[in-house]
Amino acid sequence: MYRETQIVSDVSKVPLEGGEGTFTINVGPQHPATHGVLHLVITLNGETIINIEPHLGYIHRSIEKMCESLTYRQFIYVTSRMDYLSAHINNHACALCVEKGMQIEVPARAQVIRVLMDELTRIASHELWWGAMAMDVGAFTPFFHAFRERETINDIMEETCGARLTMNYMVPGGVMHDIHPNFQKRVKDFLQLYKSKIHEYDELVTGNIIFQNRMKGVGVLSAEDVISYGCTGPVARGSGVSCDIRKLYPYEIYDKLEFDEVLETAGDSFARYLVRLKEMNQSIRIVEQLIDNIPEGDFQAKTKAVLKLPKGEFYTRVETARGELGVYIVSEGGTTPYRIKFRSPGFSNLSILNHMVKGAKIGDLIAAMGTLDLVIPDIDR
Amino acid sequence: MFLVDYIKDVFGAIKSLATGMKRTGYYFTHHKEIITQQYPDNRDTLNLPERFKGEVVMPHDEHNEHRCTGCTACELACPNGTIKVITKFDITPDGKKKKAIDKLVYHLELCTMCNLCVEACPSDAIKMAQTFEHSVFDRSQLTKVLNKPGSKIMEGVE
Amino acid sequence: MWSFSKIANSIHEWLSQTFNATWTTIIEMVIAGVAVISLFAVLGLVLVIMERKVSAWMQIRLGPNRVGPKGLLQSLADTLKLLVKEGMTPNGADKFLFNLAPYIAMIVAMLLLAPIAFAKDFQLWDLNIGVLYVSAISSISVISILMAGWASNNKYSLLGAMRSGAQIVSYELSAGLSVLSIVVLTGSLQLSEIVNSQANGWWIFKGHIPAIIAFITFIIAVTAETNRAPFDLAEAESELTAGFHTEYSGMKFALFFLAEYANVFIVCAIGATLFLGGWMPFHIGNWTGFNNIMDWIPSSIWFFGKTFFLIFLIMWFRWTFPRLRIDQLLNLEWKYLLPISMINILLVTAMAILKWHF
């Protein structure tokens, strides 16, 4: 499936690195456009990008190794620090894996609460991405407008889970607390706010001619590219590759819910942008279906005080805001995992960056990188 | 026809730009939409939800008594080694030795506020406090002893 | 009623009585120099706080509100901070050019103030080729940016400077052409005469459609020429960190910052003079009562009001639009603005010959 990158004609004569007329610049680890500490070494010929080399390791914390020394209850909370924008969904994947190994039956109420929180997290993550995306292409105002809605979600999280970003609400077998009595009302308020403001997103950014010119036809990825580089999530769906884990391998109650997998076929930056915007609306749909139908019952299954996974290998995957997150646990039968591997969406999505923007301008690199929605701690666990 | 498309392009572009400017112009003139909170000024009215995880504290009643038995369940539950329980042996009035806590050392600088210790505690001795202004000039001030000096275990807590 | 021209005249008379002609000229030059520098200092403070407040309100924020009444002294505090900061020169930089560049940016901005009519009969230097002078001098500002970018010995700076060079050189064309359309209508390059020609109506009303097109082209072109968003490619925060002034710190950075705002003020003042009648009050046909009320407002207020309206417009652009890419920026100029303003100048010429304007 792998095919050689196509370089635009005028650059093709220039040798890849160190050739005459080229120079290298370091973008990052401290740079306003990399949203964290990503380090890119870029070879340029004037404004045109010839090669990009991402350097990882700047915030490597060896989360996978750390998890090997933690018990099955404890390691879940460390994973909040991987993709901190969808912390709840990360925790969900880990809890699912432990439940799969222990064969714990999660109560219906807990499942609904988990899905509700997942979708709220997804909206919050996409909101932040939207603001940061606009800031990448030079519009500063949308960032603050996005935060208005995002803060509302954060407030809901704070009330029910006790924290705004790293919620730590998930335990094997359910959720830590029952939902707050105000939860349903506040979520409905949020839905109302969101619906009254969502048209502004189109007015400010989507419809803007400058923005469209910056995004359309930039960073085009074909379906083959996406599959061969292992991209998932909105990046793959922007190129027409159906890969929504919620649809393909439904977990929790996703198979009973009505929502569409958003697909765009253009494969350019604008398609990825649209996928995320539409995904927010689908998440809103899910929240609307569930918010009035939270079943009564326990929010947590009865589990043993000390969890021991049987000997074997367990793998679960969930759809985070960025793509497919896989959790792979090798258990020797003890209280701690023998080996844990996370398949994080950001790592594969970053790997396509060089392919995506070769031959483009620096401005395109920043805009296209924005559509990948990179969270660096997720890449560099 | 090229000319028609050209003019259409120009007008479409101007229209899309005007739409954006209308939106920012709306917010420029409508100041009641402002969402900023004046943080240090609104400290008195700041209302944190009761589940907010700020730091671990040990509630004491009016007799300077707590509910901690020194079972170290919290210490075992903590993923980061944040809590260290130092036990001693008290002599009860009837001459028996009884295990009790000497110090419950809590390292705020290591804590990730995961709430696992509170969940693990069998006697509800610790809980999360709704404080969040944790900055200090010296990191050693973040290492706290949760039980107050001279405190002892409440009657009836085993 | 007070006016700038009366104050200037009384100072001139007093000086002429006290000293001989040479000394009078020298002292007047010194006064003018001090006045220009202090105007710049005040403009810097006012425009920075204005930009911060405008951006804050558009971004549903409050903006600076701690220093002074309603935060109005914030920019003063910022200036103090910048003054006491260390002005570093990076290793390997061309020290002479590096330190010279901010001053050139500033001097160019100051030179541009000379022909601007701030109020009725109040002008530093009413030279007969005022418009030409302005467009000639404003082209020099690109040299300071190129100098800063080159001398910094930083690749980001160099990229920013090169972008800025391409940008300013191309946008000079359509800015010049749209200015030219007013010159065609007026038949004079002298700014005072251009203002006087608008006594019976501003050119944007008298020249109707061609003048409006020229005005829009002018605003877009000068936004690009002053490196303001959406054309801030020379700085392009998310791409080049800070572009040509990445390596500057302290007061040298502040001079670039100040020069940017001074340039914005000047191009807006030129725009107000050419299209909106400079210090001329707003008159409607034969409404004598209304016109008298308008005349009663001092001419300097008219001038500054119009200028600040245009400045607000440019700030509004900045806080609404995303940034263009460098090739799109040049496309916009060469494929859209330049053809449009060329056709427009033909229209204007035809209009001027056939007397189609009011």
Q: Is C324 within 8 Å of A210 when comparing Cβ atoms? A: yes
| A100 has a chain B CB within 8 A of its CB | no
Q: How many CB pairs under 8 A join A and B?
A: 71
Torsion of CA A99, A100, A102, A104, to 10 degrees: 50
Q: Are A257 and A293 in contact (CB under 8 A)?
A: no
Asked if residue A290 and residue A204 are part of one domain, the reply reads: yes
Percent of chain C with pLDDT over 90: 0
Specify the pLDDT at position A20. Answer: 66
The H or E element that residue A183 is part of is helix A183-201
Alpha-carbon distances, residue A210 vs A34, A67, A327, B14 (angstroms): 22, 46, 41, 10
Q: Are C320 and A204 in contact (CB under 8 A)?
A: yes
Q: What is the pTM for the complete model shown? A: 0.86
Q: Please check whether residue A3 lies inside any domain of the structure.
A: no
Percent of chain A with pLDDT over 70: 95
The predicted-structure confidence for C57-92, as pLDDT tens digits, reads as follows 888 888 888 887 888 888 888 888 888 888 788 887
Band (pLDDT 50/70/90 cuts) for residue B158 is: low
CB-side exposure of C356: number of CA atoms within 13 Å?
13
| C59 has a chain A CB within 8 A of its CB | yes
Specify the pLDDT at position B4. Answer: 86
Asked if residue A225 and residue A148 are part of one domain, the reply reads: yes
| C326 has a chain A CB within 8 A of its CB | yes
Q: Is C62 within 8 Å of B36 when comparing Cβ atoms? A: yes
Structure tokens at B36: 């900023």
Distance CA A90, CA A94 (A): 7
CB-side exposure of C110: number of CA atoms within 13 Å?
18
- Once rounded to an integer, what is the mean pLDDT over residues B141-155? 81
| B131 has a chain A CB within 8 A of its CB | no
CB atoms within 10 A of CB A167: 27
Subunits that touch chain B (at least 3 Cβ pairs < 8 angstroms)? A, C
Specify the pLDDT at position A1. Answer: 40
Mean pLDDT, chain C, rounded, equals: 83
Nearest to A31 by CA among C222, C240, B87: C240
pLDDT of residue A5 exceeding 50: no
The predicted-structure confidence for C284-310, as pLDDT tens digits, reads as follows 777 777 777 777 777 788 888 888 889
Asked if residue A20 and residue A67 are part of one domain, the reply reads: no
Distance CA B33, CA C98 (A): 45
Q: Where are the alpha helices (DSSP H) in chain C?
A: 4-18, 21-58, 74-84, 95-111, 130-151, 155-186, 191-196, 203-206, 208-225, 237-240, 250-275, 288-296, 299-318, 326-331, 338-354
Residue of chain B with shortest Cα separation from C60: B34
The predicted-structure confidence for A144-190, as pLDDT tens digits, reads as follows 888 888 888 888 888 888 888 888 888 888 888 888 888 888 888 88
Reduced to 3 states, what is the DSSP secondary structure of residue C242? coil
Torsion of CA C191, C194, C198, C199, to 10 degrees: 70
Percent of chain A with pLDDT over 90: 0
Specify the pLDDT at position B147. Answer: 81
Q: Which residues pair with B100 in a beta bridge?
A: B88
CB-side exposure of C201: number of CA atoms within 13 Å?
14
Domain CATH number, residue A366:
1.10.645.10
pLDDT of residue A291 exceeding 60: yes
Asked if residue A162 and residue A26 are part of one domain, the reply reads: no
Q: How many CB pairs under 8 A join A and C?
A: 83
pLDDT of residue A2 exceeding 70: no
Domain extent at residue A39: 9-55
Q: Please check whether residue A229 lies inside any domain of the structure.
A: yes
Specify the pLDDT at position C171. Answer: 86
pLDDT of residue A7 exceeding 60: no
Structure tokens at B105: 């050392």
Listed range (A260-264, A333-337, B15-19, B86-90) with the worst mean pLDDT: B86-90
Q: Is C321 within 8 Å of B20 when comparing Cβ atoms? A: yes
Structure tokens at B17: 């730009």
Specify the pLDDT at position C2. Answer: 59
Quick one: fold of B55-153? Alpha-Beta Plaits (3.30.70)
The H or E element that residue A271 is part of is helix A269-291
Structurally, chain A folds into a number of domains equal to 2
Asked if residue A230 and residue A162 are part of one domain, the reply reads: yes
Band (pLDDT 50/70/90 cuts) for residue B48 is: confident
Q: Please check whether residue A316 lies inside any domain of the structure.
A: yes
Q: Are A219 and A136 in contact (CB under 8 A)?
A: no
Q: Please check whether residue A2 lies inside any domain of the structure.
A: no
The predicted-structure confidence for A348-375, as pLDDT tens digits, reads as follows 888 888 888 888 888 888 888 888 888 8
Residue A151 with chain B: CB contacts under 8 Å: 35
Asked if residue A139 and residue A48 are part of one domain, the reply reads: no
Which residues, other chains included, contact A4 with Cβ-Cβ below 8 Å and sequence gap of 6+? Answer: none
Structure tokens at C85: 């900061």
Asked if residue A78 and residue A20 are part of one domain, the reply reads: no
Specify the pLDDT at position A9. Answer: 47
Asked if residue A184 and residue A41 are part of one domain, the reply reads: no
Nearest to C264 by CA among C317, C209, C196: C317
Reduced to 3 states, what is the DSSP secondary structure of residue A148? helix
Indicate the domain borders of chain B: 2-33, 55-153
For testing contact with chain C, the best of A45, A140, A361 (most C CBs within 10 A) = A140
Sign, Cα dihedral of C116, C118, C119, C124: negative
| C319 has a chain A CB within 8 A of its CB | yes
Asked if residue A69 and residue A51 are part of one domain, the reply reads: no
- Once rounded to an integer, what is the mean pLDDT over residues C274-290? 77
Residue C336 with chain B: CB contacts under 8 Å: 10
- Once rounded to an integer, what is the mean pLDDT over residues A58-69? 87
Tokens 């083959």 -> residue: A224
Distance CA A55, CA A61 (A): 15
Asked if residue A116 and residue A29 are part of one domain, the reply reads: no
- Once rounded to an integer, what is the mean pLDDT over residues C30-40? 84
Distance CA A9, CA A360 (A): 12
Q: Please check whether residue A294 lies inside any domain of the structure.
A: yes
Give the closest-approach CA distance of B122 to chain C in angstroms.
Answer: 47
| C336 has a chain A CB within 8 A of its CB | no
Asked if residue A68 and residue A49 are part of one domain, the reply reads: no
The predicted-structure confidence for A204-223, as pLDDT tens digits, reads as follows 888 888 888 888 888 888 88
Residue of chain B with shortest Cα separation from A70: B79
Specify the pLDDT at position A10. Answer: 47
Q: Please check whether residue A48 lies inside any domain of the structure.
A: yes
Specify the pLDDT at position B128. Answer: 87
Specify the pLDDT at position A76. Answer: 86
Pairwise pLDDT comparison (B26 vs B89), residue with the higher score: B26
Question: What value of ipTM does the predicted structure carry?
Answer: 0.82
